């Protein structure tokens, strides 16, 4: 019999929800074995997370489907229970934006985050992208909400933040990767991530974990290092909880932001809509 796993609690007041995590084994560029998946789960619990949304890639490279994702979520949850790891995994997907436009409503409805209305869409990493706001508006008309994954790593958004601002105005939410706030993806991404937070263009922080060490499932430590503990509960519990239970997205708390050093994108972001 497996002994119960005991993790270390973090300083957040409420259990954390990780809205974007590659925890399913053998399905994309995340963990390849169930043992690897359990290692991610244990690291997540040690960091204070109690719910993870499994978001494997659904892309032209990784042509995953809802049935495969649901089957693996069941297997991972069974393994967590057997190992005594106090973590619940729910189904979702990280859908490549260009592929999302090609999927029919039946497929889309089965790839939402936690089975509700929100879709996690991955923007291209190219320096040019167009029509994101129109795509968001199209999904809104169909009854879906759009969460944009790691916008801080999209070169087109860095070049012209107004593209991202227009998408938010059309109804999108933005999910930042925690590691971006501490320089895990380079200084330019870190600066842009800080600017997006400062100007109210971030609604969630998730781990986007792919393993337990190189791309780990932590969020609280990264938020603390970025001096964002005052927003941590909203970013990692209140907003993802609303996404998963289908309730209204709670407004961002009125908190003072520390003065970060600014980069070249700040002048454009000054015109971005707060909210």
Please report, for the chain, the start and end positions of each structural domain, with discontinuous segments joined by +. 16-247+262-269
The DSSP code for 110 is T
Is a pLDDT exceeding 90 seen at residue 238?
Answer: yes
Enter the pTM of the model.
0.90
pLDDT over 70, % of the chain? 88
Non-local CB neighbours of 272 within 8 Å, separated by 6+ positions: 161, 162, 164, 165, 199, 200, 201
Strand order from edge to edge, sheet including 49-54: 16-21, 49-54, 88-91
Highest mean predicted confidence (pLDDT) among 3-7, 10-14, 49-53, 123-127 = 49-53
CATH (residue range 16-247+262-269): 3.20.20.140
Is a pLDDT exceeding 60 seen at residue 261?
Answer: no
User: Which has more pLDDT, 22 or 263?
Assistant: 22
Which ranges of 51-152 would DSSP assign to H, the alpha helix?
A: 66-83, 97-100, 105-109, 132-141
DSSP lists the bridge partners of residue 121 as 95, 148
In whole angstroms, give the CA distance from residue 24 to residue 29: 10
In whole angstroms, give the CA distance from residue 50 to residue 29: 23
The DSSP code for 223 is H
Is a pLDDT exceeding 80 seen at residue 1?
Answer: no
239: closest CA among 175, 156, 170? 175
Q: Is 121 exposed, middle or buried (0-12, 13-18, 19+ CB in 10 A)?
A: buried
161-186 tens-digit pLDDT = 999 999 999 999 999 999 999 999 99
């Amino acid at each position: 019999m497996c002994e119960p796993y005991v993790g270390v609690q973090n300083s957040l007041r409420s259990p954390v929800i990780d809205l974007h995590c590659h925890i399913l084994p053998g399905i994309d560029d995340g963990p390849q074995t169930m043992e690897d998946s359990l290692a991610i789960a244990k690291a997540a619990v040690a960091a204070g997370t109690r719910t993870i949304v499994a978001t494997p890639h659904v892309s032209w490279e990784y042509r995953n489907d809802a049935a495969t994702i649901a089957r693996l979520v069941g297997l991972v949850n069974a393994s967590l229970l057997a190992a005594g790891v106090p973590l619940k995994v729910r189904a979702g997907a990280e859908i490549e934006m260009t592929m999302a436009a090609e999927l029919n409503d039946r497929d889309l409805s089965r790839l939402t985050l936690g089975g509700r209305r929100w879709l996690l869409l991955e923007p291209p990493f190219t320096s040019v992208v167009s029509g994101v706001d129109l795509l968001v508006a199209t999904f809104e008309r169909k009854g879906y909400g759009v969460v944009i994954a790691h916008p801080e790593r999209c070169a087109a958004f860095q070049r012209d933040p107004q593209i991202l601002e227009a998408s938010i105005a059309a109804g999108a939410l933005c999910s930042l990767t925690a590691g971006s706030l501490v320089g895990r993806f380079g200084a330019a991404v870190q600066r842009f991530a800080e600017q997006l937070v400062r100007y109210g263009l971030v609604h969630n922080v998730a781990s986007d974990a792919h393993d337990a060490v190189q791309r780990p499932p932590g969020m609280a430590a990264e938020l603390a290092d970025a001096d964002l503990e005052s927003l941590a509960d909203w970013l990692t519990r209140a907003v993802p909880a609303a996404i998963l239970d289908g309730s209204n997205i709670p407004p961002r708390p009125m908190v003072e932001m520390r003065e970060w050093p600014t980069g070249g994108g700040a002048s454009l972001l000054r015109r971005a809509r707060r909210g």
